[in-house]
Structure 1
Amino acid sequence: MTPLRVHALLSARPATAVLGAGARIIPPLAWDVLLVAALGVATLPAVAAEPAAVAVSLGLLLPLIWRRRSPWTVFGAVAAAAFAQWLLGYQLPAEISLLVALYTVAAYTTRQRLLIACLVMEGGILLACQRWASEQHLLSTAVALSALAAAAASLGANTRALRERAAQLQRERDQQARLAVAEERSRITREMHDIVTHNLSVMVALADSAPYARSADTSSAALRQISETGRQALTDMRRSLHLLRTDEPEAQRHPLPGMAELEGLAEQMRRAGLPTRLEIRGDPTPVPVAAQLTVYRLVQEALTNTLKHTPRGTRAHIRIHCLTDTDTVTVDVTDDGPPRQKADAASGLGIRSMRDRVAAHGGTLRAGPLPSGGWQVAARLDLGREADVVV
């Protein structure tokens, strides 16, 4: 019996490619019962005339039914039956079970136990050769049987290594899945924070200014702007959460905001009472979608903080510079409001969100007070790492 046939026999188990992906139609114990039955059919007829030989053969074969559950104990039982066979002087075809048991020890137990099993197996081979092999064939017989034992042990060890590798890959895949879920949760949290905080801040500012309007038309305009801002917030939330809604029609999904929407954002802030000037240098067209979304959210968060933490009359200035020759985009948002405490202003979720967005592009962010007064948010995005960013 060649080592390849031995391996095919020893590793008998359901083929998932045939039975279906991940399916185990027949449990391992049933496969081992079938293995023992097949070995019994192949070996018992040769010794059917001798009841003692049949009993010893059954002692060699039957323990294999539990080989996966207790491989070390099964090997000991089979080895004991083989020693009884040697004492009785029988040469039985069922001694192939020794290779099966050795394979199982290699595949399911530790290396230390495999070494002990190999030593026991080699001792049995020497005893068998001393008793049944002729002097001229003693060495060749011992080498052949040792080679079979080594093949069974090697195949079992390889099976164990493949199983351990598969388990490691499964753990790594699970870990990557958990990291992906955490990253997606963090992304959605940033989006929700930016959307809700910005739009609510604008609505509050408009609502505060409405009672002081000098005319009914001005008051009505403020109320309409509040309504439009609320609707825009709902639209942005649906857009950000569309990946979580598998039943949402594609037509209801909206493109993510980019640098083209900055003018609309600046106009919204002007209506909320924050005079805002926008300056874009360079061509923003080649800037990838992920980077454009980051620029938009940085400007949105910076203007929201200015609207929340500065008095009316404060002015904001947005400068965007697209450097196509160096694949970078710089963002600078400043205001001329009164001094703010850096520790207090930089400790919120908004600043952490901005840092996370910029870090995803391999960029840098500075957020803090200006020496001459006011506040500055300055960021530099490296578009060369855009391929690593997932929107």
Structure 2
Amino acid sequence: MTEAAARPEEAHPGLRRLHLPLRPPLRRLPPAAREALPVALLLPLLLLHLAGTARSSDLPLAAALTTALVLPLAWRHRAPYPVFGTVAAAALLQWLADVQLPADVALLVALYTVAAHTGRRGTLAACAVVVGGALAACLRWSTDGAFAAPFVALAATAVTAATLGAHARTTRAHLAVLAERAAHLARQQEQRERLAVAEERARIAREVHDIVGHHLSVMVALTDAAVHVRHRAPEQATAALLRAAETGRQALTDLRRPLGLLRAGEPDPQRHPLPGIAELEPLADRMRAAGLPVRLDVRGEPDRLPATVQLTVHRLVQEALTNTLKHAPAGTRAEVRIDCAPAAVTVDVTDDNPAPRPAAASGQGIPGMRERAAAHGGTLSAGPLPDGGWAVRARLRPGGGPAASA
């Protein structure tokens, strides 16, 4: 997701104006203030109404009962049950005092709050209390014994308030589940992105390791050879130094592609082609020039292999020959055999160095080779041969996924 897509109001300023009505100034108040604000507005209006309609003798009691009914609603969200109990108790006192008040609507508000913030049992109990109070009020204050119609209306109003509160609770819980699911998906997406970045960094690190290790080893060998023969064969020394310079330029060319992926300003890192099986012969020539005779045998149809598989084969052979060049004494010979079959690609790199090579199994070379092979559903083994020498054997599956283990 782009930055503009993450903040659409910055890309389109008109959206900011559309969002303003959806975020009224009341949203900026603390929750307790927002909860108490309706009570602070409603209670004075009810008291003013009583002052204009109630008899002076009944005004103190009516005002006290109105305050007892309405004022607890300021804490309704923080304590639904205690608030409902307080309002119900005030309504009972009102019934005992035989006073009818418009503030009785506070019972419906308290019932709605209980249904919206508590469980089913508490909602049913509160609804039963309100319906029972409605029945008692209709029995006392209905005229001519016609209490059935008012009771049905009040009971239906109570059930409606409870139903709306329960629906609000269910909706809020559903939205909370959706929000948690969205947060979980966002965390998963972020984790996948981190894994992808780590995998890409590891891949680039392997590329740089293989390129630098190979070319530096060849350059060191060529430079050592030039120093060794500079007096008795200046022409050979010059040729070795020129070959070392050519190897260095080739290293710079090979490094442009993986390093270009790390630079945002690189115009086109893809313009540097990936080395494949066809580039193994120039690789073998460089190794021969550095003093390691190499025999290359490629069978099958390598051109049919994907570019990524060919790159893996190239890097495996390059790393194996580089290890031989670094660790084997002069006179060691290496042989590379590659079999490009449709179902699998087999890579064998062996040398005839009879001396043990403990250092070849250390470092990042062989683990990196195993990671490359595992990325194509293959395996790789490296170790000494029974009759002397060293072997690196890999088997890749061009159409297979990553192996579970290598």
TM-score normalized with structure 1 length = 0.76
Q: Kindly provide the CA deviation profile for residues 38-96 of structure 1, in whole angstroms up to 9, marking residues without a partner as x.
A: 97899899957248558955753x558xxxxxx6x254575466446644563327945
Matched residue type, 2:354: P
* C-alpha deviation, 1:119, in angstroms: 3.8
Measured against aligned partners, the alpha-carbon deviations of 1:257-292 in whole angstroms (never above 9, x if no partner) come to 111211111111111111111111111122112111
Contact map agreement 2:283 2:318 (CA 8 A) in 1: yes
Q: Which consecutive segments of 4 or more residues in structure 1 shift more than 6 A?
A: 15-18, 31-46
How far apart, in 2, do the equivalents of 1:241 and 1:100 lie? 62
Q: Which moved more, 1:182-191 or 1:293-302?
A: 182-191
Q: Deviations over 1:275-331 (max 9, x none)?
A: 11111111112211211111111001000000001011211111111112x2x1111
AA matched with 2:316: L
Which of the numbers 199, 204, 213 marks the counterpart of 1:183? Answer: 199
The corresponding residue for 2:245 is 227
8 Å CA contact retained: 1:43, 1:94: no
The aligned length equals 350
Matched, 1:360 2:375: yes
Matched, 1:152 2:168: yes
Give the secondary structure class of the aligned counterpart of 2:302: coil
2:397 paired with 1:382: yes
Q: Does 1:197 align with 2:213?
A: yes
CA deviation profile, 1:76-122 (whole Å, cap 9, x unmatched): 5754664466445633279457646754x4xxxxxxxx43xx44433
5+ residue gaps, structure 2, are 1-7, 52-62, 95-100, 136-146
Equivalent residue for 2:317?
Answer: 299
Match of 2:300 in 1: 282
Greater shift, 33-42 or 274-283, is seen at 33-42
Does the 8 A contact of 1:39 with 1:94 survive in 2? no
- Out of 356, 369, 372, the position equivalent to 2:384 is 369
Distance in 1 of aligned mates of 2:325 and 2:157? 91
Structure 1 residue ranges without an equivalent (≥5): 1-14, 65-70, 106-113
Give the percent of matched residue pairs that are identical in Structure 1 and Structure 2.
Answer: 47
List per-residue Cα deviations over 1:240-264 (Å, max 9, x = no partner): 1211111111278412211121111
Q: How does 1:302-381 map to 2 (within 5 A)?
A: 302-324=320-342, 326=343, 328-341=344-357, 344-381=359-396
Aligned to 1:29: 27
Do the aligned residues in 2 keep the contact of 1:355 with 1:365 (CA within 8 Å)?
Answer: yes
- Give the whole-Å Cα distance in 1 for the aligned partners of 2:304 and 2:38: 70
- Correspondence for 1:91 among 104, 107, 113: 104
Equivalent residue, structure 1, for 2:222 = 206
Q: Is contact 2:332–2:352 with CA below 8 Å preserved after alignment?
A: yes
RMSD of equivalent CA atoms: 3.8
Q: What is the CA–CA distance in structure 2 between the aligned matches of 1:356 and 1:270, rounded to whole Å?
A: 28
- Structure 2 length normalisation: TM-score? 0.73
Distance 2:303 2:42 in 1: 78
Asked if 1 retains the 8 angstrom alpha-carbon contact of 2:26 and 2:34, the reply is no
Please name the residue that 2:126 is paired with. Answer: 124
Output the CA distance in 2 between the equivalents of 1:58 and 1:46.
Answer: 13
Q: Distance in 2 between matches of 1:329 and 1:350?
A: 20
- Residues 127 and 159 in structure 2, CA contact (< 8 A), matched pair in contact too: no
Q: Is the 8 A contact 1:368 1:375 kept in 2?
A: yes
Q: How does 1:46-85 map to 2 (within 5 A)?
A: 49-50=49-50, 57=70, 60=73, 73=78, 75=80, 79=84, 82-83=87-88
Specify which structure has the bigger relative contact order, considering alpha-carbon pairs within 8 angstroms and separated by 6 or more residues: 1
State the SS of the aligned residue for 1:277: strand
Judge conservation of contact 1:63–1:77 (CA < 8 Å) in 2. Answer: no
Which of the pair has more CA radius of gyration?
Answer: 2
Q: For the Cα contact (< 8 Å) 1:314–1:335, is it kept in 2?
A: yes
Shift of 1:170: 2.1
Native 8 Å contact 1:367 1:378 kept in 2: yes
Letter in 1 for 2:263: R
Provide the secondary structure at the position in 2 that maps to 1:169.
helix
Contact 1:129 1:141 in 2 (8 A): no
| Native 8 Å contact 2:222 2:243 kept in 1 | yes
TM-aligned CA distance change 1:94 to 1:340, over 3 Å: farther
Whether contact under 8 Å (1:99, 1:152) holds in the other structure is: no
Task: State whether residues 63 and 78 of structure 1, in contact with CA within 8 Å, keep that contact through their aligned partners in structure 2.
Answer: yes
Question: 1:194 Cα shift?
Answer: 0.8
Match of 1:168 in 2: 184
2:398 alignment partner AA: L
CA distance in 1, matches of 2:384, 2:26: 69
Shift of 1:164: 1.5
CA distance in 2, matches of 1:175, 1:74: 40
The AA in structure 2 aligned to 1:263 is E
Measured after TM superposition, the shift of residue 188 of structure 1 is 1.8
Give the Cα separation in 2 of the matches to 1:98 and 1:296: 76
